[in-house]
Amino acid sequence: MAKNVERLQAREAKELIRREKQLGARSNKFYIIYLFMILSLIYITDEMASTISIQFQANIVTEFFVKNMGMEYGAGLSLFSAIGFISYPVTVLIIFYRPLADKFGRKPFLVINTLCMGLGLFLVYLSKDIYVYMIGSTLMSFMVSHDMQCVYILECSDEKSRARNYAIVKAVAILGTLLVPLLRATLMQNVSERWHVVYLVPAIIGFVMALFALLFAKETNAFLTKRIEYLKTPIEEREQRSKEECEQNAQGGILTAVKFAFKHRQLRFLIIACCCFYLASLGTATYSTVMAKSALMTEEEITLALFLYPVGNALFTLISGFVSDKFGRKITIIAMSCSALACYLLFILSGMFKWTPYLTGFAIGGFMGSYWGAGDTIGGIMFSESSPTNLRSSVTVINTLLNGVMGGLATVITMILLPIIPEKMFGYMYLGLTVPGLVGAIVIMWLFVGETRGLDLKTVTGTEWDKPKKIKEETQDGE
C-alpha cells in the first residue's frame, strides 16, 4: 500500500513539473487566431459527421437494402432504423469516456476525437455493405457527442467574449456544411451510386485537422490551472474532499431526481412538454427520404436544396440565440417551436407541390435551426434553471433519457408504418408525427410552465412554481 502511494506521488510530481511548464509557456500573439481557425475546421468536420448520413439516407437505403438485399424502400428504411438501435449501447460509454478529459487534458481528446471522426467518415467511404457502414457511422456518432472543440472555445475565451466566440464558430461550422452539396455537384456529379465519394473529403479534413491540433494546439489554461491545483493538494485532503462530495451527491441520483420532478409542477410539465417535443424529432433525420421518395426530387434538385439548407439552419440558430437573450426561455421555446412547425409545413408543401428546391432546402434548414434552438433551451437551460443545486446534474439526465425514449418510440411507430404505406405518403406520415408533437409542446409551455430567466441558480429550490397550498404542506412536513 505504501509503495503504491509512493509511486503515485512520484508520477504526480513529474506531471506537476510538466503541467507547470505548459502553463508557464508563452503563446504567440497570433495563437488564438490560428487556434480558432483550427477549431472552426474541426467544428465543420463535426457538423458534417453529424448531418452527412442524414442527407444521404435515401442513397444509403437504396444501395444497401434495395439493391443489395432486394427489399422495397419502405421495408429497407424500416430495417435500417431497427439496425440503428444496435449503436445505442455504444453511446452509453460516453459516461465513462467524457470524464477522462478532466484527468488527462483537453488536447489529447481534441486530437483523438477529430481523428476518429475522420476515420469514421473514411470507413463509410470504403463501405461496400451495411456492416462496415455501421462501424463507421457508430464511430462518428460517438465522437460527435463529445464536442471537445466546444470545450476549447469556451475555455480559451474570456467571459465577455465566450458566447460571441462560440456563436461565430458555430455559425461558420454550419455554413461550412455547404461543402456537402458542393461535393455532390462536383465529385458525386449528382449520380446516386457515387455517394460514397462525398465522405472522402471531410475524412481527409478530419485527418489533417487532427494533425494540426496535435502540432499547434496547446492545452487550455483552464484545465492546467485546475489540474495543477489538484496535484498540489495532499492526498489526504483529496480523500476528505471526495468523501464530502459523495455525501452531497448522495442526495442526488436519477431515481431521486425523477421523484422530485414529478412532485413539482414546473419540472413535471417540462417533462410532459419534452415528451411531446421529442416526438417530432424524426423530422430532423428523415428529410432526405422525404425529398427523394415522397417529393420525387432528382439528385440535382436535392443538391440545389442542400445549398440553402445551411443558410436556413444558421439564420434560425442565430435568431434563437437573440430571442433567448432578449425575451427569455419560455418565449424562445414557444416562438422557435412555432417557427419549426411553420418551416416543416413549408418544407413538405414546397417539396410535394414542386415549388422550388431552394425554398425546400431553406425551409428544412429553418426547421432544423428552430427545432434545436428550442430543444437546447428546454433541455439544456430550463431543466437546469428549474432544479435545486444538489439535483441539477441528475435532473438534466432526465432530458437526455426523454430524447432517447420518445425518439425511439417515434422510430418504432414509423418502422411499423413504412413497409405498408406508399412511398409518396412518407412525408405526410412524418408530418403527422411532427405537427402534434410541436403543437402539444407549445400548448403545455404556454399554459403550464413558468419563466426561468434571471433566476439565481444558487437559491432555486424547484418549488417556486408550485401552488401555495402545496408549498405550505411541504413546509409543515419539514417542520
* Digitized pLDDT (tens) for each residue of the chain, 479 residues in all: 567 767 877 887 887 888 888 777 766 778 888 888 888 889 988 888 888 888 898 999 999 999 988 889 988 989 988 888 877 777 777 767 777 887 888 889 999 999 999 999 999 999 999 999 999 999 988 888 777 887 888 788 776 666 567 777 877 888 888 898 999 889 888 888 899 999 999 999 999 999 999 998 888 887 888 888 878 888 777 777 766 666 555 555 667 778 888 888 888 899 999 999 998 888 888 888 899 889 989 989 999 999 999 999 988 888 887 777 678 788 889 999 999 999 999 999 999 998 999 999 999 999 999 998 888 788 767 887 788 766 776 777 787 788 878 888 888 888 888 888 888 888 898 898 889 999 999 999 999 888 877 777 667 777 888 876 554 555 555 44
Within 10 A of 173 (CB to CB), how many other CB atoms are there? 23
Which residue type occupies 76? G
For the chain, report the end-to-end CA distance as a whole number of angstroms: 47
8 A C-beta contact, residue 170 and residue 317 = yes
Rounded distance between C-alpha atoms, residue 345 and residue 355, angstroms: 13
Is 409 exposed, middle or buried, given 0-12, 13-18 or 19+ CB atoms closer than 10 A? middle
User: What domains does the chain contain, in order, with CATH numbers?
Assistant: 24-233 (1.20.1250.20), 253-463 (1.20.1250.20)
What is the DSSP secondary structure assignment for residue 282, as one 8-state letter?
Answer: G
**Per-residue b/e over 392-403, b at no fewer than 16 CB within 10 Å?**
bebbbbbbeebb
8 A C-beta contact, residue 303 and residue 360 = no
User: Number of C-alpha atoms within 13 angstroms, CB side, residue 180?
Assistant: 32
- Name which of 458, 271, 308, 295 is nearest 383 in CA terms: 271
The whole-model pTM stands at 0.79
Rounded distance between C-alpha atoms, residue 404 and residue 414, angstroms: 15
Within 10 A of 26 (CB to CB), how many other CB atoms are there? 6
Q: What is the pLDDT of residue 476?
A: 52
Residue 342 DSSP SS3? helix
Tell me the H-state helices in 186-234.
200-216, 221-232
Q: What is the pLDDT of residue 255?
A: 77
Q: What is the pLDDT of residue 207?
A: 95
Rg of the chain's alpha carbons, rounded to an integer?
24
Residue 76 C-alpha cell reads as: 429497407
What is the DSSP secondary structure assignment for residue 290, as one 8-state letter?
Answer: I
What is the DSSP secondary structure assignment for residue 187, as one 8-state letter?
Answer: T
Beta strands in 300-395 (DSSP E): none
Q: What angle do CA 102, 104, 109 make, to 5 degrees?
A: 90
**Per-residue b/e over 132-157, b at no fewer than 16 CB within 10 Å?**
ebbbbbbbbbbbbebebbebbbebbb
Q: Which residue in this structure is represented by grid cell 417533462?
A: 271
- Name which of 338, 325, 334 is nearest 453 in CA terms: 325
Within 10 A of 18 (CB to CB), how many other CB atoms are there? 11
Rounded distance between C-alpha atoms, residue 240 and residue 153, angstroms: 33
Which residue type occupies 231? L
